[in-house]
Amino acid sequence: MDDPLQAMGHKDDPQTKTPSSVLLTLCVVAAMHFGGNHRKTPAFARDFALFSHIPSPSRFSRRIHPLKPYLLAFLKTCLPFGQSNPLLSRLWKDPRQAQGYALDTFPLPTCENIRAQRSRLTPGRVYRGYIPSKRVYFHGFKPHLLVDDRLFVHEVGLTLGSAHDLNSLFLLPLEVEEGKPLYLDRGYESHVWEEVMREAMGIEVMPIRKRRSKRYVPWSQYLAILGRRVVETVGSMSRGLFPRRIHAVTQERFVLKVLSFVLVHNIRLLAQRME
């Protein structure tokens, strides 16, 4: 964590006892072993003397919030200030190894449906979404993951539960190499944006279409279904890291924990490939 922060030009205050790299490390350890609990992790690090100085839980909570953009930067190719990250994201963003990409979303409830009306974290009906495969409603967010065929997550975005899946095409940069296929679900089907991504970005879009669609081709649908399976695998692996309910008082902390879980997925997968 220290080397990427130095590469991005991050400097801590001279009076700081705990550097930002230690805080990000504790955040990753919390997502990897403690279900994102930010109170147990500093206590664990203090009991085992992992670092010279461990902040209190309240101090840790105040200092980790400004570091959220760096967690998002670790998952992107282009960082703020126009720089590139050569230390973390380049390890799983090798364009010579990725042969295809897939984009999909999955529901991430913040509470049970019966408690949706009195939820303080996500108040309002805009967070109420629908899962067509299960024919049930949920209350929360929808993470959108752009993954490659090696199961690494390249980009991540969060939308409201009621938002259409097509909105992620406006939020994510979709930095896909020219000529590489991008497999999409039925919710992302849009003839206009397909032409835009093909002509302007050079992306070979392969969505799963409805049978009544004018562009429905049987052999293309078979390839799209096979290529999209990788994002379903990544979704199940990521949800295996999540606890049953992510405990957060504010939406900023909720987003911070979601980003840490996705980063832990890439770090674990990278460690398995390097063994």
Q: Is 39 helix (H, G, I), strand (E, B) or coil?
A: coil
pLDDT for residue 126: 92
Which domain range does residue 41 map to? 2-89
Is 174 inside a domain boundary?
yes
pLDDT value at 80 more than 80: no
- Taking alpha carbons only, the member of 34, 37, 235 closest to residue 144 is 235
- Taking alpha carbons only, the member of 183, 225, 182 closest to residue 203 is 182
Contact 76, 155 (CB under 8 A): yes
Residues 138, 272: Cα–Cα separation, whole Å: 34
Is 157 inside a domain boundary?
yes
Is 263 inside a domain boundary?
no
CA dihedral 104, 260, 4, 67 (to 10 degrees): 120
User: pLDDT exceeding 90 applies to what percent of the chain?
Assistant: 22
The domain boundary residue, chosen from 36, 56, 89:
89
Is 9 inside a domain boundary?
yes
Tell me the pLDDT tens digit for each residue of 219-271.
778 888 888 888 888 888 887 888 888 888 889 899 899 989 998 988 888 88
pLDDT for residue 217: 77
Into how many domains does the chain fold?
2
Residues 129, 139: Cα–Cα separation, whole Å: 6
Contact 35, 270 (CB under 8 A): no
The domain boundary residue, chosen from 73, 89, 105:
89
Residues 141, 120: Cα–Cα separation, whole Å: 14
The domain boundary residue, chosen from 89, 123, 150:
89
Same domain, 106 and 34: no
Same domain, 172 and 72: no
pLDDT for residue 27: 92
pLDDT for residue 141: 93
Same domain, 149 and 18: no
pTM across the whole model: 0.84
Same domain, 80 and 101: no
| Contacts for 144 with CB less than 8 Å, ≥ 6 apart | 103, 104, 105, 156, 157, 158, 159, 165, 168, 171, 172
Same domain, 145 and 167: yes
Under the banding of pLDDT at 50, 70 and 90, the label for residue 92 is low
Is 248 inside a domain boundary?
no
Tell me the pLDDT tens digit for each residue of 115-137.
999 999 999 899 999 988 889 99
pLDDT value at 83 more than 60: no
Residues 164, 171: Cα–Cα separation, whole Å: 12
For position 119, which CATH number holds? 3.30.420
Is 117 inside a domain boundary?
yes
